[in-house]
Amino acid sequence: MKLKGITLCLLVALIATCLGYIFPLIGSMIFSIIIGILIGNFINIEPYEEGIKYSGKKLLQYGIILMGFTLSFKTAINLGASSFPLIITSIAAALIVGILGGRLFNINQRISTLIGVGTAICGGSAIAAMSPIIKAKDEEIAFSIATIFFFNIIAVFIFPTAGHWLQLSDTGFGYFAGTAINDTSSVVAAGYAFSEHAGDTATVIKLVRALMIVPICILFALLQTGYSSVNLKKVFPWFILYFFLASIIASIMPIPAYVTSSIKLLSTFLMSTALAGIGMTVNIRKFFEIGVKPLGLGAITWMVVIVMSLFMQQLLHIW
């Protein structure tokens, strides 16, 4: 029965959301995964399995679609053009290093792809969007998200200090944080820790970067079946199209701020609910069998993105 499993996931997400408010640097999604893993490994979840699997897949997609309503093209016009070269080069660097690095270190291709995409675009949201396209397993999704969020937490602490040490301007730090930190919440935290202007700049750039979910997912969907036999109707991730349409609607039909805030909260809660379900399917023994190589790959990929962001700022005289 789906309802029992969905209810369990909703309860975990509610607890995780409360913990996320108390410990914002960690966030509700990480707490959802952690609690889910504990429940899945220490409690018999067989009676809840159908609802858990439904939550892990469908509620995740619904959360991503709702997220589209919070991203408006209009808010990104002024900064979008100037930040686009940084965004594109950072994304390209993360994807290349993530995927090729995975092959070099003999890491599961799905994990290396998820780490690369998560580092390149918007952390857990990008991983959530990409995972059904490459048919990633729940354990691989959970591990990849945990890896990415580990570095998000580090970024919140070290980026403001690094920005002052590098003598970045408020605008320069906004570009730096917006292009080199993975998750939106961490971008906001680090940006506003530096200054209000840096926070505003970083947030807008991060939203532009997050919109790249759509073309990257479309590209991977095409690559999954090969260029010679692409059946778009079959392979296209339709929930990504709905995400894209939602962002278009938000641009041409302004949504009141209080509605946008409510949508964002619901989107985050649905994704936390889904991640609770994903966490419950994780076998902790297999989790540890993956090893430390993916964590190392995440670190290397992130370092390359940081260097690329700073290099492009110097090249374009943004500092």
pLDDT for 232 beyond 50: no
Closest CA relative to residue 171, chosen from 103, 99, 79: 79
Q: What is the mean pLDDT of the chain?
A: 83
What DSSP string describes 26-40? Answer: T-HHHHHHHHHHHHH
Closest CA relative to residue 114, chosen from 74, 81, 142, 153: 142
Q: How many CA atoms lie within 13 A of 127 on its CB side?
A: 33
Q: Would you state the structure tokens that stand for residue 57, as one six-digit string? A: 């897949």
Out of 24-33, 40-49, 217-226, 234-243, give the one with best mean pLDDT. Answer: 40-49
Q: Residue range 17-44: average pLDDT? A: 84
Domain that holds residue 68: 2-315
Q: Do 155 and 161 contact (CB within 8 A), yes or no?
A: no
Q: Do 243 and 67 contact (CB within 8 A), yes or no?
A: yes
- Characterize 252-283 residue by residue with b for buried, 16 or more Cβ atoms within 10 angstroms of its Cβ, and e for exposed: eeebeeeebeebbeebbbbbbbbbbbbbbbbe
What DSSP string describes 202-257? Answer: HHHHHHHHHTTHHHHHHHHHHHHH-GGG--HHHHS-HHHHHHHHHHHHHHHS---H
- The one-letter amino acid at 221: A
Domains held by the chain: number: 1
Out of 3-7, 123-127, 212-216, 238-242, give the one with best mean pLDDT. Answer: 3-7
pLDDT for 230 beyond 50: no
What pLDDT score was predicted for residue 9? 96
Report pLDDT digits (tens) over 38-95.
999 898 888 899 999 899 878 888 887 887 787 666 655 666 678 889 999 999 999 9
Burial of 249 (0-12, 13-18, 19+ CB in 10 A): middle
What Cα–Cα distance (Å) separates residue 297 from each residue in 52, 227, 317?
30, 29, 30
Q: Residue range 293-311: average pLDDT? A: 92
pLDDT for 235 beyond 50: no
What Cα–Cα distance (Å) separates residue 103 from each residue in 97, 220, 223?
10, 17, 17
Distance CA 89, CA 319 (A): 17
Report pLDDT digits (tens) over 108-146.
889 999 999 999 987 877 888 888 888 888 888 888 888
Instruction: Region of 71 please: left (phi>0), alpha (psi -120 to 50) or beta.
Output: beta
